Amino acid sequence: MRTSRPRPVFNKLAYDRGELLSREHSVDVLAARQARTYDGSIGRLNRWVDTVRARTGESVPYFDPAAASDGARVLILLQDPSQEADAGSGFISRHNNDPTARNLYLASDDAGLAYDVTLHWNVVPWWVANPDRQPAHRRRTLGEEAIRARPYLAEMMQQLTVEPAVIVLAGKEAQAGWDALTDGGTIAVSHEAQVLRCPHPSPLVYPKPHPEGGTNGDAIIKVMRQAAALAEK
């Protein structure tokens, strides 16, 4: 009988530190994190996630209860959850076992951006490529789903008890989704919130050359370093 092979450990930094969220490689760590889903300020956000799930029928992953324990000073927005976040850990986290989470964790760690001041989310809070949610005869597009998700991004910002000092938009889709909301006045951001932009940390984008020199990974680290410094002010 053929059995499926387990996924490799992509996020070795998280694994080595006993933080990896994986049903295959660290069941106890994942179970402990799941037990904290509704704890503290992140628990309030995750109760809101439950309402989004009910309204959309989407399997929206939860905020990571290990993040932003000292407050969401830095909000990092990406485009949409990975398959691993959706069907694996169930959390949006830099501790997930996928290459994008690994790259984001490595860049943040190199930059000295602590997890206890950082919150991760997506402009589209559900996995766009989810095969169970595709309409007949075509596939959903990120652009279409970003439009559909706009009200939920605006709601999420309203759920934050303290406005972040820094908002990092990682990738073109996150930047376009944010701009569509802020330019239209749906989200009001105070003059104190610094909005920074960087490439997406996906394995296809991360190692490529950046227009300003170095790689996209270098550019991401630079922005994360700026975010860390601003978060301390």
pTM score:
0.93
For range 192-203, the mean pLDDT: 93
For range 79-98, the mean pLDDT: 96
Tens of pLDDT, residue by residue over 25-38, are 999 999 999 999 99
Tens of pLDDT, residue by residue over 14-67, are 999 999 999 999 999 999 999 999 999 999 999 999 999 999 999 999 999 999
- Percent of the chain whose pLDDT exceeds 90: 79
Task: Answer whether residue 2 shows pLDDT above 50.
Answer: no
- DSSP sequence for the chain: ---PPPPP---HHHHHTT--BBTTTBHHHHHHHHTTTTSHHHHHHHHHHHHHHHHH---PPEEPTTS-TT--SEEEEESS--HIIIIIISEE-TTBSSHHHHHHHHHHHHHT--GGGEEEEESS-S-TT-GGGPPTTS---HHHHHHHHHHHHHHHHHH-SS--SEEEEESHHHHHHHHHHHHTTSS---TTPEEEEE----TTTTTSBPTTSSBHHHHHHHHHHHHHHHHT-
Q: What is the per-residue pLDDT for 86?
A: 96
Domains identified in the chain and CATH numbers: 12-129+140-231 (3.40.470.10)
